[in-house]
Structure 1
Amino acid sequence: MTAEVERGPRVLRDARLLAREVAEQVAIDNGVCIRPVPYKRLDSLTGLTEVVNVACGATLESKCPPCAKRNRQVRRAQCREGWHLEAEPVAAAVEASEDQRWLIEFRANLQGQRDEAEHAGADAAVADLDAAIDAVDAEINAAGMSGNVLGRTAGQRSRSTRRRQDAPDLPRRVMRDTTLGRTFTGSDGKTYRPSMFVTLTLPSYGRVRGGVPVDPSTYDYRRAARDALHFSKLVDRFVQNLRRVAGYDVQYFASVEPQKRLAPHLHMAIRGTLPRAEMRQIVAATYHQVWWPAADEVVFDGEHRPVWSAGGYVDPVSGEVLPTWDEALDRLDADEDAEPLHVVRFGAQFDVQGVLAGSKDADQCIRYLSKYLTKSLGDPIGDGGDGAARRAHAARLVEALRFEPCSPGCANWLRYGVQPKNARAGLMPGRCRSKAHKPEHLGYAGRRVLVSRKWSGRTMGEHKRDRRSWVLAALGLDEASADPHRYVWQRAATGDPDVGSAALRLLREVAARQRWRAELERLRARADAADMAGLSGSAVAG
């Protein structure tokens, strides 16, 4: 009897967990976010408060399949809209908000106070104002304003011309103020505006079979790790060289995906076209040099690691202060025989396809560009290779990344006897919290989708609003007439009794989604019936 009484609560808990899992599956089947964030919305006119579930907006299927699917659909629409434009995209002028104007004015006042303090020789006040200015600059960037107009340039470092990233063997055309490629007239008199679909990969690090190294002991994991860490910079250099050769402001939509061997590679839709020979030249001439201090000789390891003091990190044995990041770069600049820490290039294999607007090839390329956007870089791609061998391969790559510096501020620099940029207490080699060191990213810390500013003339947020506006218009709801100041939003506190259980909130969202879909289907059927009646009337009149 006692055993049955003790087993009862456990069975009930298991049933509750199972119900939550079923609710999540039902939500996924109906396209409802499975991790909604509860907000309380206060209606300032009526005084009523209601709980509104806001979609989490995750882009990975492992976190929320419905949100990831919606994001992929928006990306496909964005890619399709900008690829084969026949006229220059025009971005609408954006007016600064009151908050943005206030931040700029506040920043100006702080700068004036700092200049006065510096003129008066008040070093302590200058330091405090510098910290305040840095904080406001961060708020300015978070408020949707970018650019370095507000940045202080006194401490910027100039690089020697012998270390300049260059591509001297590439042809160079005079730049034209356009984002559109060339057009061609066929024998039938029709005008064609072709574009390109390009695939770029990294070089080989050793023989692989089914995505797994044939001999892991000879596979160059260090080079693979460093190439992944700096892959985004290599892509930037490729775009710069591409525009230099093309002679116009080339626009692109690209996605970064993992290969079977877990190395990142690039698929890029490019507006306009270039000869294949020139594309081959650009790929071969593109490289990126990483001018960082040496990171091949371990100075501190295990329990013997630098300790934090008032002057920065010091050697625990000698008490000597480690060189700062700027001091380490000064030494690098002074060394005439210095070489870059790493040079990353593309591999010999690449693919270029010509694509015409509206063709089956264009649709297939757009689907391919977004095919793996909902997958993590650490997820295995395709078939082949033993599961255990693939997991071991990924583990070795993660271990190679563990102590590689991913940025000037990476804690791993302490392992090589250098203080990271903006060093602070608590840093420990091998425990960098950067995105690049997380197993699911495998060294690549950049964005998965790369879209040039003039691709479609609109931002991702504007594409999402188009999708929302279409649904609201189909349901007969006028979003433009809503008063933006009517509602006050506040995130619901944990344990708020008005929020309810997670499973119950999912079921409510599923019911709402089903009502919306039923209404959309009814409106669609009515529109189809009206179209058929119009066609019948036209036939009778004819």
Structure 2
Amino acid sequence: MTIDTSTDVVGRTVEYDQLSRAQKALMSLSGDVAQQLAEDHGVCVRPLAMRRIDLTTGRVEVVPVPCGARREDLCRPCAEKCRRTRMTQCREGWHLEHEPIPDRPAPTEAQKELLAVRADLHTVYQEEDEETEREAIRNTVAVLDDELRRAGVTGRLEPLDPPDRPAVKRSTRRRQDAPNLPRRPVEKRTLGQVFGGRYRPSTFLTLTLDSYGRVDGDGAALDPDDYDYRRAARDAIHFPKIVDRFWQNTRRCVGWEVQYFGTIEPQKRGAPHFHAAIRGSIPRAELRAITAATYHQVWWPHHDEQVYRGDRVPVWNDDAHGFVDPETGDALPTWDAATDPAVLLTPGHTVTFGAQVHVKGILGGTEEAGRHIGYLTKYLTKSVSQAAGLVEDPSVRQREHRRRLVAELERTPCSPQCPIWLLYGVQPKKVRHTAVPGQCKGKAHRPEHLGIGGRRVLVSRKWSGKTLGDHQAERAEFVRQLLNRVGVRPGYAVDDGPFEWEKTRPGDPDVPTRPALLLHAISQRQRWEADYTAAQALAGDPPADRSATAGEAA
């Protein structure tokens, strides 16, 4: 039965103040209407209040700034905006016909003079014993480094002081049980081969991890006791490392600088797998051989058995400047001692790919290319658990599978600085007294990340020749040029700055409420959209296509 909240039971019009509480409960909340309107216009639903100071006029105002969230459960408009920018980045670099980054220019005389002065100071610093003089040289070199950066010099500048501990050198000889790969000289090119004088196909690749046990159709282990959760957790944490190793092997094997745009996504079983758009064509057999020969050795202390658990955990000792055994008072081995090559003879873990490798050739400018771009970026707005389907009405078997995987991740170290190492009797690298044994704030241990603690999107440096910020700036510049070309003047003040930005604090009297900021952002977006629609009509341009195949299907 539907109740009309505007009339009473006999059909008479009733004022809002005369409505009952039950009738008001059936009405829409103003905050819900504002949030839905903001999502319809693509406006951030939880804007941040920032104080903007115009350095030319001195005007100060508090304006809403998008939160920039990448997950739709936090802010759908910001997450969708980021996803579409990633789609643009993938599309622009996948089927390039020319090198995106030109050769580096020859060093200028000014650059060489600055570096020559720095070289002299470096030599004097090594020979000087007086600390006062060494401090003066350090200050001078810091100024020179800033001048070199402003002069257009990039790359690492040699520090004056050598590192406290030299890097650990380990053998780079391949494992005897790993297949050998051919090694070719790497050419300085990123474009693939042209076939038939006109076709330059590219590649879509999917890599997966090995099997840890039998699973059902929902990805849950059929026999949890037989499923190797320990190896699954370790492989998930170290998955980005083996992906990097794969690209190193690929470039050495094919003989040119292979470029890629890839995303790390979870499978239903919770294990990560990798989708990549590769510029250029690589034979399927070669990619499968590279995958089979790729591995990553983790030279960490062995951590198969916990030494401490429950209330019996190491404690901090100021005299020892580290953690000690709670009963004997003996200091735990430091990270450097535990990873010394003379002590650590075998790696703590080795990651390999699974046998399943999917390779497909893709032609640029086709609808198929657009579909694969949409597939690459499909789950970027979801958390890892949501993308794996482990949070929406799970079955009993799924809940148990997820519980055991999360429990294993909670006791698997994620980095050399991870406090979980204390449970295995090893002091983490650069440990401090604030560390809590067994408790790490790293993303990899959180249930919603399932061991994927780093970035979900991996892009090679020479993919499109632009950063993500460059692609975002291009969108704004396109709109600005369109307005100027057709002579549309915005009906609101547009300041060019320069501006200085300040963070606001809770309780600042000039900061509007969150609903007021949201309404201001909606009003601003509506005016922008009106001006852009008018400019499109004057220019005769069709409405922009926001589908995943925009710019691909010609």
Q: TM-score range by the shorter chain?
A: 0.7 to 0.9
For residue 238 of structure 1, the aligned residue among 243, 246, 254 is 246
* 1:362 paired residue number: 369
Whether contact under 8 Å (1:403, 1:430) holds in the other structure is yes
1:170 Cα deviation from its structure 2 partner: 0.8
Are 2:53 and 1:42 aligned? yes
Change in 2 beyond 3 A, CA 1:284/1:115: same
AA at the equivalent of 2:169: R
Are 2:78 and 1:67 aligned? yes
* 1:501 paired residue number: 513
Equivalent residues in 2 for 1:370-409, closer than 5 Å: 370-381=377-388, 386-409=394-417
Tell me, in whole angstroms, the C-alpha distance in 1 between the residues paired with 2:255 and 2:478: 38
* 1:160 paired residue number: 170
Tell me, in whole angstroms, the C-alpha distance in 2 between the residues paired with 1:518 and 1:478: 11
RMSD: 3.7
Tell me, in whole angstroms, the C-alpha distance in 1 between the residues paired with 2:265 and 2:123: 47
AA at the equivalent of 1:37: L
Q: Which is worse superposed, 263-272 or 422-431? A: 422-431
Equivalent residues in 2 for 1:49-448, closer than 5 Å: 49-90=60-101, 119-120=129-130, 148-150=156-158, 152-153=162-163, 155-161=165-171, 169-185=180-196, 190-209=197-216, 210-310=218-318, 311-330=321-340, 333-335=341-343, 338-381=345-388, 386-448=394-456
* 1:6 paired residue number: none
Tell me, in whole angstroms, the C-alpha distance in 1 between the residues paired with 2:154 and 2:41: 38
Tell me, in whole angstroms, the C-alpha distance in 1 between the residues paired with 2:498 and 2:278: 44
Cα displacement string for residues 138-187 of structure 1 (whole angstroms, at most 9, x for unaligned residues): xx99xx998653564452323331666796611222221111111111xx
Tell me, in whole angstroms, the C-alpha distance in 2 between the residues paired with 1:341 and 1:114: 41
Cα displacement string for residues 430-462 of structure 1 (whole angstroms, at most 9, x for unaligned residues): 310111112211111121111111111111110
AA at the equivalent of 1:521: T
Whether contact under 8 Å (2:298, 2:348) holds in the other structure is yes
Tell me, in whole angstroms, the C-alpha distance in 2 between the residues paired with 1:335 and 1:431: 27
Q: Which is worse superposed, 276-285 or 205-214? A: 205-214
Tell me, in whole angstroms, the C-alpha distance in 2 between the residues paired with 1:411 and 1:114: 38
Tell me, in whole angstroms, the C-alpha distance in 2 between the residues paired with 1:287 and 1:146: 32
1:484 Cα deviation from its structure 2 partner: 7.0
Change in 2 beyond 3 A, CA 1:14/1:55: farther
TM-score, normalised with respect to structure 1: 0.81
AA at the equivalent of 2:60: T
Tell me, in whole angstroms, the C-alpha distance in 2 between the residues paired with 1:227 and 1:508: 47
1:64 Cα deviation from its structure 2 partner: 1.0
AA at the equivalent of 1:453: R
SS state at 1:461 partner: helix
* 2:535 paired residue number: 523
Change in 2 beyond 3 A, CA 1:162/1:234: closer
Change in 2 beyond 3 A, CA 1:34/1:90: same
Tell me, in whole angstroms, the C-alpha distance in 2 between the residues paired with 1:113 and 1:441: 50
For residue 29 of structure 1, the aligned residue among 15, 35, 40 is 40
Change in 2 beyond 3 A, CA 1:296/1:457: same
Cα displacement string for residues 180-219 of structure 1 (whole angstroms, at most 9, x for unaligned residues): 111111xxxx521111100011111111111211122221
Whether contact under 8 Å (2:64, 2:520) holds in the other structure is no
Change in 2 beyond 3 A, CA 1:382/1:434: closer
SS state at 1:345 partner: strand
Tell me, in whole angstroms, the C-alpha distance in 1 between the residues paired with 2:330 and 2:377: 52
Change in 2 beyond 3 A, CA 1:287/1:14: farther
Cα displacement string for residues 225-265 of structure 1 (whole angstroms, at most 9, x for unaligned residues): 00000000000010001101110011000011111111111
Change in 2 beyond 3 A, CA 1:335/1:321: closer
Whether contact under 8 Å (1:403, 1:429) holds in the other structure is no
1:17 Cα deviation from its structure 2 partner: 11
1:21 Cα deviation from its structure 2 partner: 3.4
1:348 Cα deviation from its structure 2 partner: 0.8
SS state at 1:46 partner: coil
Segments of 5+ residues of structure 2 without an aligned counterpart are 1-20, 106-114, 543-554
Whether contact under 8 Å (2:63, 2:517) holds in the other structure is no
Tell me, in whole angstroms, the C-alpha distance in 2 between the residues paired with 1:14 and 1:52: 33
Whether contact under 8 Å (2:179, 2:292) holds in the other structure is no
* 1:471 paired residue number: 479
Whether contact under 8 Å (1:91, 1:457) holds in the other structure is no
Tell me, in whole angstroms, the C-alpha distance in 1 between the residues paired with 2:247 and 2:541: 50
1:45 Cα deviation from its structure 2 partner: 3.2
Cα displacement string for residues 257-292 of structure 1 (whole angstroms, at most 9, x for unaligned residues): 111111111000111112111111001001101111
Tell me, in whole angstroms, the C-alpha distance in 1 between the residues paired with 2:74 and 2:125: 46
Residue correspondences, number: 486
Q: As a proportion of its length, which structure holds more helix?
A: 1
Tell me, in whole angstroms, the C-alpha distance in 2 between the residues paired with 1:484 and 1:511: 20
Segments of 5+ residues of structure 1 without an aligned counterpart are 1-9, 95-103, 531-542
Whether contact under 8 Å (1:211, 1:385) holds in the other structure is no
Whether contact under 8 Å (2:47, 2:67) holds in the other structure is yes
Whether contact under 8 Å (1:165, 1:289) holds in the other structure is no
Change in 2 beyond 3 A, CA 1:494/1:525: same
Tell me, in whole angstroms, the C-alpha distance in 2 between the residues paired with 1:307 and 1:17: 55
* 1:451 paired residue number: 459
Cα displacement string for residues 298-344 of structure 1 (whole angstroms, at most 9, x for unaligned residues): 212211111112221111211111111001112xx1148x3211111
Change in 2 beyond 3 A, CA 1:296/1:196: same
Tell me, in whole angstroms, the C-alpha distance in 1 between the residues paired with 2:286 and 2:430: 43
Tell me, in whole angstroms, the C-alpha distance in 2 between the residues paired with 1:503 and 1:171: 62
AA at the equivalent of 1:428: V
SS state at 1:334 partner: coil
Cα displacement string for residues 510-542 of structure 1 (whole angstroms, at most 9, x for unaligned residues): 121112112211221222299xxxxxxxxxxxx
Whether contact under 8 Å (1:179, 1:248) holds in the other structure is yes
TM-score, normalised with respect to structure 2: 0.79
Change in 2 beyond 3 A, CA 1:14/1:409: farther
SS state at 1:191 partner: coil
